[in-house]
Structure 1
């Protein structure tokens, strides 16, 4: 059973991914996310990073649909989303796509491509996603835990923590760029 705290986190991510506001996530939402990411970074159709973005989004959607779309209607509802993450957090079988998705999100946040997410990368990416600069700065401080940058290894731990922890003070809770979950 997912706690109210964890459900709140998962639904925040769900609403972020529900790009068309339909109340469910489908392949079109993921395609819109990929289009937005490519546009924000100036990638054009035919660019290697453009292709990687869309290929990764397709892979993640296929995995999410397989694991999360329990009624096979081509959409993942909020309830299916929460149930899916409860299942995925307890399963090693889903680790491959989860790790690929994590690495993709890390790459998307590493705007300067140096292999780390620094405060400028995080704040820039977070504000493009609708957060305020102040919120993004505060969230980065919680994520970085006194460091000036976040490595892929650090990010993988934070990413996993976001989806699994019940601890409201865990640094991974702030991966969305919000300094609190209120």
Structure 2
């Protein structure tokens, strides 16, 4: 199994464990929103699934695999999620250190 498939499987199982309150193997909108609120409240120590998700998304965007997310990688990644090049460029400039 490849890295992406393993990561997504672990992410899904972790999400189900903490968010699927009615144990139907699905995460409904209300369950998702509750999870996001709890995660924001615990910003100092995010749960393991959140860290794994962040790592997965970083690696997905970092196509050069140099552990540095440059503007072109960020813009390309955000374009895939529907943001325009202009919006993604502006967002990158706001978060780039």
Size of the aligned set, in residue pairs, is: 95
1:68 has 2:19 as partner: yes
TM-score (norm 2): 0.86
TM-score (norm 1): 0.48
Which structure 1 segments of 5+ residues have no match? 1-45, 148-182
Residue 105 (structure 1) aligns with: 57
Structure with more strand by fraction: 1
Residue 135 (structure 1) aligns with: 87
Q: Secondary structure, in 3 states, of the residue corresponding to 1:75?
A: coil
Provide the rounded CA distance (Å) in 2 between the counterparts of 1:59 and 1:128: 23
Report how far residue 97 of structure 1 moved. Answer: 2.2
Report how far residue 111 of structure 1 moved. Answer: 1.6
Which structure 2 segments of 5+ residues have no match? none
Provide the rounded CA distance (Å) in 1 between the counterparts of 2:47 and 2:74: 25
Report how far residue 79 of structure 1 moved. Answer: 0.7
| Runs ≥4 residues deviating over 4 A | none
Residue 117 (structure 1) aligns with: 69
